[in-house]
Amino acid sequence: MSGALGRRVLPWLVPVSAIALWQLASQAGWLSTRILPEPWAVLKAFWALSITGEMWRHVATSSWRAASGFALGGSLALALGLLTGSSRRAETLLDSTLQMVRNIPPLALIPLVILWFGIDESAKLFLVSVGVFFPIYLNTFHGIRSVDKGLIEMARSYGLSGWALYRHVVLPGALPSILVGVRFSLGFMWVILIVAETISAQSGIGYMTMNAREFLQTDVVLVGILLYALLGKLADLLAKNLERWWLPWHAGYSPQT
């Protein structure tokens, strides 16, 4: 198989074979439908849910929660990361506190969150924001600190200072690190959301899945899992494209390597 074609086809070899094996096992009766429904049944459920529009409503709700949590947590993390990265005084004041908070798993906060926010949207927003915060914060801080000091010295010697220095040297230099943080956060975003939606929800993919579990609709449960996987993949693709769009100069991200 030629190189380019092989690279596009081969990654699909394992998942397609696994699904084929699964279908075979279900049809042969080795796999009970209560444990794992056959792939065909999952597809049928997917189709049924999508033509009623129910699935799309759930997807829209979940996506909205994820996006707003990401926007809130991410922008706060970016701002704080830029602050503590650029100012030694801010670092001394804030960083150790933030590192302590970082070690608390966001999901362990769920009982507190329910007490504070109840079970409505703000609880989920808070959880997703907290989950998204730390990868972006840490990588922004690290990115600012690791900007090549030689470049900063050179830019200073050519008359750049203050905002111009920040804009032309520090921020672009930190950008690869920041985007790594964004990529991590996009992954966590879905994980946190999945759990947040199972606490209690009236809509969303998590609600759809929990409901289906109550009624032993394992095929719908699998549809929910599939949706999460697809959305996670989409988020990762978005992150990759951001890198390709904003870092065309970076040898590590060019198409040849």
Partner 1 sequence: MNHLDLELQSGALAALAPAVGPLPAEPAVRPTERSTPAPAGRARGTRVDIGGLSKHYGQRKVLDDIHLQIAPGEFVAVVGRSGCGKSTLLRLLAGLDAPDAAGPRFDGEPAAAGPGDTRIMFQEPRLLPWKRVVDNVGLGLQADGRGASVRERSLQALGQVGLADRANDWPSVLSGGQRQRVALARALVHAPRLLLLDEPLGALDALTRIEMHRLIETLWQQHGFTALLVTHDVAEAVALADRVLLIENHRITLDERVALPRPRVRGAAFDTIEERILHRVLGAPAGHASTDATGAAASAASTASFVSAGANVSTKS
Q: Residue numbers of the site for partner 1 (CB under 8 A)?
A: 150-151, 153-155, 157-160, 168-169, 172-173, 175, 247-251
| Residue 53 vs 159, nearer CB to partner 1 | 159
- CA-atom Rg of the chain in angstroms: 23
CB atoms within 10 A of CB 7: 10
Q: Is 147 left (phi over 0), alpha (psi -120 to 50) or beta?
A: beta
Q: Which two tokens stand for residue 70?
A: 């990401």
| Residue 168 vs 240, nearer CB to partner 1 | 168
| Residue 10 vs 154, nearer CB to partner 1 | 154
Smallest separation, CB 172 to partner 1 (Å) = 4
Smallest separation, CB 82 to partner 1 (Å) = 17
| Residue 172 vs 232, nearer CB to partner 1 | 172
Smallest separation, CB 167 to partner 1 (Å) = 11
Q: What is the chain's length?
A: 257
Q: Which two tokens stand for residue 248?
A: 């065309």
| Residue 157 vs 202, nearer CB to partner 1 | 157
- Dihedral in degrees, nearest 10, Cα atoms 113, 117, 123, 126: -70
Which residues, at least 6 apart from 244, have a Cβ–Cβ distance to it below 8 Å?
253
Which residues of the chain form beta strands (DSSP E)?
none
Instruction: Look up residue 94 and give its DSSP letter.
Output: I
| Residue 8 vs 168, nearer CB to partner 1 | 168
Smallest separation, CB 247 to partner 1 (Å) = 8
Smallest separation, CB 171 to partner 1 (Å) = 10
What is the residue whose two structure tokens read 């989920």? 124
Smallest separation, CB 92 to partner 1 (Å) = 24
Can you state the angle between helices 39-51 and 218-246, rounded to 10 degrees? 80
